[in-house]
Amino acid sequence: MTQACEVHPTGRLMVKDIKHGQAFHDLLVVRRFSLMPYRDAAKGHYLTATLEDRSGKVEARAWDKGEQFAQILKEETVFRIRGQATEYQGAIQLHIHGVEPVDAREVDWGHFLPVTPLDRDQLEADLDRAIAAIANPHLKMLLARLFAEGDIRRAYVNAPAAMTHHQAYIGGLLEHSLRVHATALGLAANVPEADRDLLAAGAILHDIGKIEELQYQSVIGYTVAGNLLGHIVIGINLLDREIAGLPGFPEELRLRLLHLIASHHGEYEWQSPKRPQTAEAMILHYADRFDADMFKVRQALGEAKDGWSPYLKGMERRFYAGVADSGALQGNVAQASPAQSASQPSPHDRGGGERS
């Protein structure tokens, strides 16, 4: 008897929730597949596959049309799978009845990859508020042009911040950029000579090249452009193209903004083509570095045992989380949006990504 699907709150039936007897008709990543011969050679081959979403993996078989489906399937690619769940040797197995290619642009990759722990709608709202707060008309126009509804905005709010080291999840780039924005403006309160509008724009845009450096269709990895150019060069080129389409954009402002992108890694040995040479560039670099280090520290404190984090090789130390009866926080702290962190500062709630 076929059971009705019990779906995830997003409307999807997640792999971990598939039960024996359920019908399935939804998107899954095909991690691997192969054709296996029947014992009776006259029957040809059946298809065996490993399918996956963010919640887990499920083994699958196609008994009747395996050879036909093998001509359609591609590994590390999302397909719409239709089938029936059964139980085999104590584990759920999906019997495939149909496969259908899908347009990658229509896929919500948050179903297949890790996602920021923060509220993604809130992060987008924070981005729009940060842009609205910029008074400089040229910078406001540039940001409005970039982040109007379209491909750039869609990529920016969905992209990971890195491949592995920090915020390597959907929404990571937006989360990281807003944390850097909040930290940078906090530092600028003590630097009256800094141009806050320029700094705010630079914080939002410093990693925009990541939208073309990284791909995140079923797995996170580097694009060809990412490998050959890197996100700093990509970001400078992208912004220069957009600025060229804005009549009257001041050349001095263009150079100062592009310098923020070029110098935010801070040092040549950190793959920075330039070192910071303006007040805004200094602030942005340190805000980015602080966010990078704090992300690592937060993760380490979350794994603390007996009051101490694991050893962080890159930082050459362990971190102290405190003891249970001291009233100190033990590493696992409530997540807040970057905007909330800025309005209610706490040294335990300002994470972020590594130098990026």
pLDDT at 337: 64
Q: In the chain, what are the domains?
A: 15-106 (2.40.50.140), 113-343 (1.10.3210)
pLDDT at 326: 54
Cα distance between residue 99 and residue 102, in whole Å: 10
Cα distance between residue 103 and residue 67, in whole Å: 23
Would you give per-residue pLDDT tens digits along the chain (356 residues)? 333 333 343 457 888 899 999 999 999 989 999 999 999 888 899 999 999 888 889 999 999 899 999 999 998 888 999 999 999 998 999 999 999 998 877 788 778 888 898 999 999 999 999 999 999 999 999 999 999 988 999 999 999 888 766 677 889 999 999 999 999 999 999 999 999 999 999 999 999 999 999 988 777 889 999 999 999 999 999 999 999 999 999 999 999 999 999 999 877 666 778 899 999 999 999 999 998 888 888 888 988 888 999 998 888 899 999 876 655 554 444 455 676 554 443 333 333 333 44
pLDDT at 349: 35
Cα distance between residue 356 and residue 353, in whole Å: 7
CA 307 to chain centre: 30
Check if the beta carbon of residue 324 is closer than 8 Å to that of residue 330.
yes
Span between the terminal Cα atoms of the chain, in Å: 53
Question: Which sign, positive or negative, has the C-alpha torsion 292, 293, 298, 299?
Answer: positive
Three-class SS of residue 184?
Answer: helix
pLDDT at 107: 81
CA distances from 160 to 69, 174, 180, 186 (A): 32, 8, 15, 25
Cα distance between residue 156 and residue 163, in whole Å: 15
* DSSP string covering 74-138: -TTEEEEEEEEEEEETTEEEEEEEEEEE--GGG--GGGTS-B-SS-HHHHHHHHHHHHHT---HH
pLDDT at 84: 94
pLDDT at 41: 87
Check if the beta carbon of residue 24 is closer than 8 Å to that of residue 82.
yes
pLDDT at 136: 98
